[in-house]
Amino acid sequence: MTDEKRKRRSQAWFGGTDKDTTIHRAWMLNQGTPPDNFDGRPVIGICNTWSEFTPCNGHLRDLAERVKRGVLEAGGVPFEFPVMSLGENNIRPTAMLFRNLASMDVEESIRANPMDGVVLLCGCDKTTPSLVMGAASCDLPTVVVSGGPMLNGKHRGCDIGSGTAVWKMSEDMRAGEMTLADFMDAEQAMSRSPGACMTMGTASTMASMVEALGLGMPQNAATPAVDARRRTLSQYAGRRIVELVRQDIKMSDVVTRESFENAIRVNAAIGGSTNAILHLIAIAGRLEVPLTSQDWDALGRDVPTILNLQPSGQYLMEDFYYAGGLPVVMKHLLDKGLLHGDAATVSGSTIAEQIAKAENFNPDVIRTTDAPLTQSGGIAVLSGNLAPLGAVIKPSAASPELMQHSGPAVVFEDIDDYKNRIDDPDLEVTATSILVLKNCGPKGYPGMAEVGNMGLPEKILKQGVRDMVRISDARMSGTAFGTVILHTAPEAAAGGPIALVKNGDQITVDVANRTLELLVSDEELAKRRVAWQPNDAHMTSGYQRLYIDHVLQADQGADLDFLVGKRGAEVPRESH
Ligand code: FES
Ligand code: MG
């Protein structure tokens, strides 16, 4: 055996003739693996979030088989293993509550098992950050394979986008402009193939972030789930992970501060989800790369949104792929000096090399930086006495006329209060009011649910109004839109100033100047603080208790405080 093989991590389990190595090998043989497969060749874990309760990841077993082909071709030996799978559409109270829990599952599964490298199979929103966070804390050679988007929804001859169409149509229905029968019809038209949401929601955003960070293969973001080339990409990823193990290229060798700067700019250019800010800060925290929400604002501020995809624009992911995919967007940015071209990727070439041949086949889908969809994209980070640790808004999905706005607050103490009163005909609200929703942050919901894009009051919808300023400590779905201020920190449940807002208080939002102010005197706020009681109606034991006690605020990525950082993948002591 060569020295290189002998020192491989998996050989601590499989290499040798003593009792312990026999125990590790012997049981593995019951799967029909030839004994010579344990001779020191790279052992690759395939971390799979397949689950029938996570429909967006329902096809990942097929992709796992393709990854295995690639691993075997390159002389490695693959083993697939399951981890907690978070389906955005089903998991209650919100998949975000369990992102950190799933990341612990991933981290401990990788470290505890005999693998030299890992391929992460993910798709639906939280499955990507949970896997990347967990793997980052281990820092083995890692490649991410996303499941890819669904085909475009088709309804009555028009394209409809997952999520985005639901938000829009449910408001149309409440306004009396769409029938229930049509709404039900659209439901079936929206999800007609395997894959993740085909809008630029959080799943597509995170698949794009993976590609921009250099952690995925070229075209990881946009290749449709059912396109044969998604399978090919998976097979290539299988080949590459074996090579990365041979060359000992760890995740942290690929993903650096420059990679995050690239990803933030790409997020601005694609009009990506506001959730990306939380997930990338959390991933950077695991890799011990300094990254703050202020970095997001500063790096994304002057980057135009050039991708014309819902919810910011018109098209869907299938169109994006046919137009040339993410490499085209990245090439436009590189040409403007907005990317680090020498950043590394798992494919073995630099970002610049990887995108050199990208060609734009549809300049209406992928605009240029000179004729963008929105001049200043990115995620704007606001601050002021209402959000001392910041709040975010996605300008490309907001109404330009509301980006500078003052109005009286209409306050909802929590999501139940909102649901009970929003359509009350006596609710004192006008189109210029600002809706404020409290207690939906990390500790408050708990899990920071995607309720920040709360629907407008029915009586306002009936006036033909479709957007109002909304402020909360919640998140919103990446498929959602509107002048929605999110992630207000500290959150209400942690005693942030948002907890002290009362009906009728004047609030001023100024996105251009990045401010969010509550026009109430310090003396009055101090008085209200004395009277403030935390709204604490959650489980007092179990995982929820652990989460509430340890979750960081949104500006720090809402990771658990004790999970931040790399713990490596040193081989643990023997089990017998
Ligand atoms: Fe799974 Fe949108 S619900 S990707
Ligand atoms: Mg979502």
Write out pLDDT tens, residues 51-110: 999 999 999 999 999 999 999 999 999 999 999 999 999 999 999 999 999 999 999 999
Ligand 2 centroid–CA 275 distance in Å is 8
Predicted confidence (pLDDT) per residue in 183-235, tens digit: 888 888 899 999 999 999 999 999 999 999 999 999 999 999 999 999 999 99
Extract the runs of DSSP E, i.e. beta strands, from 449-523: 469-472, 484-485, 506-510, 515-518
Q: State how beta strands 484-485 and 469-472 pair.
A: parallel
Are the beta carbons of 118 and 93 closer than 8 angstroms?
Answer: no
Are the beta carbons of 266 and 330 closer than 8 angstroms?
Answer: yes
pLDDT for residue 377: 81
* Buried/exposed 243-262: b ≥16 CB within 10 Å, e otherwise: bbbbeebbbeebbbebbbbb
Q: Residue 564 pLDDT > 90, yes or no?
A: yes
Q: Residue 463 pLDDT > 80, yes or no?
A: yes
Mutate to test the pocket of ligand 1, among 49, 54, 56, 210 (most ligand atoms within 8 A of CB): 56
Question: For the chain, how many helices (H) and strands (E)?
Answer: 21, 14
With 0.90 as the threshold, say if the pTM is over it. yes
Predicted confidence (pLDDT) per residue in 345-369, tens digit: 999 999 999 999 999 999 999 999 9
Average pLDDT on 476-498 reads 95
C-alpha distance from residue 394 to each of 363, 382, 466, 514 (Å): 23, 11, 17, 12
Are the beta carbons of 60 and 147 closer than 8 angstroms?
Answer: yes
Burial (CB < 10 A; 0-12, 13-18, 19+), residue 69, is middle
Predicted ipTM of the assembly: 0.90
Token pair, residue 251, equals: 């995740």
Q: Is 125 in the pocket of ligand 1 (CB under 6 A)?
A: yes
pLDDT for residue 187: 86
**Dihedral of the CA atoms 186, 57, 93, 182 (nearest 10)?**
0
pLDDT for residue 440: 97
User: Ligand nearest 273 Cα, by number?
Assistant: 2
Token pair, residue 541, equals: 């034991």
Tell me the three state secondary structure of residue 144: strand
Predicted confidence (pLDDT) per residue in 538-550, tens digit: 767 899 999 999 9
Ligand 2 centroid–CA 426 distance in Å is 32
Q: State how beta strands 43-48 and 77-82 pair.
A: parallel
d(CA 260, CA 40): 34
Are the beta carbons of 506 and 406 closer than 8 angstroms?
Answer: yes
d(CA 318, CA 325): 9
Residue with the bigger pLDDT between 103 and 168: it is: 103
Residue with the bigger pLDDT between 20 and 10: it is: 10
Cα-flanking dihedrals φ and ψ of residue 82, to 5°?
A: -90, 150
d(CA 473, CA 8): 46
Predicted confidence (pLDDT) per residue in 393-426, tens digit: 998 889 999 999 999 999 999 999 999 999 999 9
pLDDT for residue 1: 66
Are the beta carbons of 120 and 137 closer than 8 angstroms?
Answer: no
pLDDT for residue 7: 86
Which atom of ligand 1 has the smallest separation from the CA of 204?
4
Q: Is 450 in the pocket of ligand 1 (CB under 6 A)?
A: no
Domains, the chain, with CATH or none? 41-152+192-355 (3.40.50.2300), 160-189 (no CATH), 380-538 (3.50.30.80)
CB count, 10 Å around CB of 568?
A: 11
Residues 6+ positions from 216 with CB-CB distance below 8 Å: 143, 144, 145, 146, 207, 210, 237, 346
C-alpha distance from residue 382 to each of 201, 296, 427, 484, 522 (Å): 22, 11, 28, 12, 20
DSSP-assigned letters across all residues of 222-283: TS-TTSHHHHHHHHHHHHHHHHHHHHT--HHHH--HHHHHHHHHHHHHHT--THHHHHHHHH
C-alpha distance from residue 95 to each of 92, 123, 193, 564 (Å): 7, 13, 22, 20
Ligand 1 centroid–CA 125 distance in Å is 6
Q: Residue 537 pLDDT > 70, yes or no?
A: no
Q: Residue 478 pLDDT > 90, yes or no?
A: no
Q: What is the percent of the chain where pLDDT is above 70?
A: 99
Ligand 1 centroid–CA 325 distance in Å is 20
Token pair, residue 573, equals: 């002591």
Q: Is 89 in the pocket of ligand 1 (CB under 6 A)?
A: yes
Q: Residue 458 pLDDT > 80, yes or no?
A: yes
d(CA 154, CA 398): 25
Ligand 2 centroid–CA 529 distance in Å is 33
Residues 6+ positions from 194 with CB-CB distance below 8 Å: 58, 59, 147, 150, 225, 226
Handedness of CA 400, 404, 405, 409 (dihedral sign): positive
Which atom of ligand 1 has the smallest separation from the CA of 57?
1
Cα-flanking dihedrals φ and ψ of residue 149, to 5°?
A: -80, 160
**Residue 387 is which amino acid?**
A
Residues composing the chain: 576
Q: Is 203 in the pocket of ligand 1 (CB under 6 A)?
A: yes
Are the beta carbons of 565 and 137 closer than 8 angstroms?
Answer: yes
Burial (CB < 10 A; 0-12, 13-18, 19+), residue 206, is buried
Which atom of ligand 1 has the smallest separation from the CA of 87?
1
Q: Is 56 in the pocket of ligand 1 (CB under 6 A)?
A: yes
| Strand-by-strand arrangement of the 142-146 sheet | 77-82, 43-48, 117-122, 142-146
